Structure 1
Amino acid sequence: MSITLALIAITVAISLLAWQQPRLLDALIFWPTGVAKGQWWRLLSHGFIHADGAHLLFNMVTLYFFGTVMEQVLTPRIGAVGFGLFYLAGILIAILPSFFRHRNDTKYRSLGASGAVAAMLFAYILLQPWSLLFVFFVPVPAIVFAAVYVLYSIWAQRRGSGNINHSAHLWGGTWGVVFLIWLEPRLVSRFMNELLAPLGM
């Protein structure tokens, strides 16, 4: 079994179990007050539980399509364990800004694998900026989707409405791009060439 499929299986199993056992969900969810009290596991465990079936399905389908590609790209360079750590680091790095922002907010909660999934998605976009992503069955160039996604996430985060942690999406995506560039700096020039090629430049 690939690491991506293993991560999906583990996440689905824990999410289903947490829905049946509210006390487990409460113990795993990201709660900055709990983290500040020494419950450090919440920085990672929140990435393996989800709010509902739609939340879980969206994240796992996205992880399947982009995680399998990135696993093939990364495992020859960093190995299977390294790929797994890349995913876990995405969960951690994506939530840290939320921790510092809400560390004094006892009511704040967050859950879901969106940060790590965004890392996979944006790493893929760095490699294939003009590939087509199907957004609600509409084909959209990956780089266009990325630009709109980032702008919307910044706007939504500043607006501060809804229950979606847009900050985690932004920082998770940033982690995916930064890690790939650190691993292979030549990707910057490759990305620019790919970006300009369809424009005839």
Structure 2
Amino acid sequence: MQVTYGLMVVIGLVSYLAWKRSELQSRLLLNPYETYYQKQYWRLLTSGFVHNGPLHLFLNLFTLYFFGAAIEQIFTIFFQEQGILLYLVLFFTAIIVANVPTMLKHKNNPRYNSLGASGGVSALVLAFILFDPLRQLCLYLFICLPGYILGAIFIAYSIIMGRRGRDNINHDAHLWGAVFGVIFVLLLRPSTVIAFLDQVFLK
């Protein structure tokens, strides 16, 4: 799990430095207008390393700690020496892919900004659910459901809230990160879907 811990340290350090230097945060966060029209495409990735505040950072790192470590271990088992590389590709690519719809949706709004590793973290959560759908996952520490049910609720919630757009949360990034996590695993190991269905329907 050393790679996961390394990711946590880097994300935490960059977020902290960005809080201290507002110009750094402005340079790294996702501003769809500047990303699209000024071709500052690095923002699609670097926005995953900055956060809005300590609580935002804590929630993403807390989730990364559990699900990132689990996926790192699972990938190492299934893909051996390529596992760590594939794990990093999943996480970083998920951040980028999750941000692309936001860039296209808000590219004409210079005042819109988005930041956080939620797209990558969502990909890890849904990837984990594919491998272990019956594992009890807890929301807010007291609502515990099998992973496949919680994953379905999460996706439905992200779609609904993304359409409403009434809060400051980038639900589109959550949704597309989650979808990418599922697609990534199925492309790497198609037999995962058979194991998933067997566990869910033949439990």
Instruction: Please say whether Structure 1 and Structure 2 have the same fold, judged by a TM-score greater than 0.5.
Output: yes
Superposed, which structure 2 residues align to 1:36-185 within 5 Å?
Answer: 36=36, 37-76=38-77, 77=79, 78-138=82-142, 139-185=144-190
Q: Name the SS of the counterpart of 1:116 in structure 2.
A: helix
Conservation of the 8 A alpha-carbon contact between 2:155 and 2:178: no
Inter-partner Cα distance in structure 2 for 1:186 and 1:17:
43
Conservation of the 8 A alpha-carbon contact between 2:119 and 2:178: yes
Letter in 1 for 2:118: S
Inter-partner Cα distance in structure 1 for 2:9 and 2:63:
14
RMSD: 1.2
Q: Name the SS of the counterpart of 2:190 in structure 1.
A: coil
Q: Name the SS of the counterpart of 1:185 in structure 2.
A: coil
Deviation for aligned residue 1:162: 0.4
Runs (4+) of structure 1 moved beyond 3 Å? none
CA deviation map 1:15-44 (0-9, x unaligned): 001011111100101011111202111110
Inter-partner Cα distance in structure 1 for 2:197 and 2:89:
28
Instruction: Tell me the TM-score normalized by structure 2.
Output: 0.94
CA deviation map 1:55-87 (0-9, x unaligned): 000000100100001011113523323321221
Instruction: Tell me the TM-score normalized by structure 1.
Output: 0.95
Unaligned runs of 5+ in 1: none
Unaligned runs of 5+ in 2: none
Inter-partner Cα distance in structure 1 for 2:89 and 2:193:
23
Inter-partner Cα distance in structure 2 for 1:85 and 1:142:
23
Deviation for aligned residue 1:131: 0.5
Conservation of the 8 A alpha-carbon contact between 1:70 and 1:120: yes
Over the matched positions of the two proteins, sequence identity in percent amounts to 37
Q: Given the alignment of the two structures, is residue 189 of structure 1 paired with residue 194 of structure 2, yes or no?
A: yes
Inter-partner Cα distance in structure 1 for 2:139 and 2:87:
26
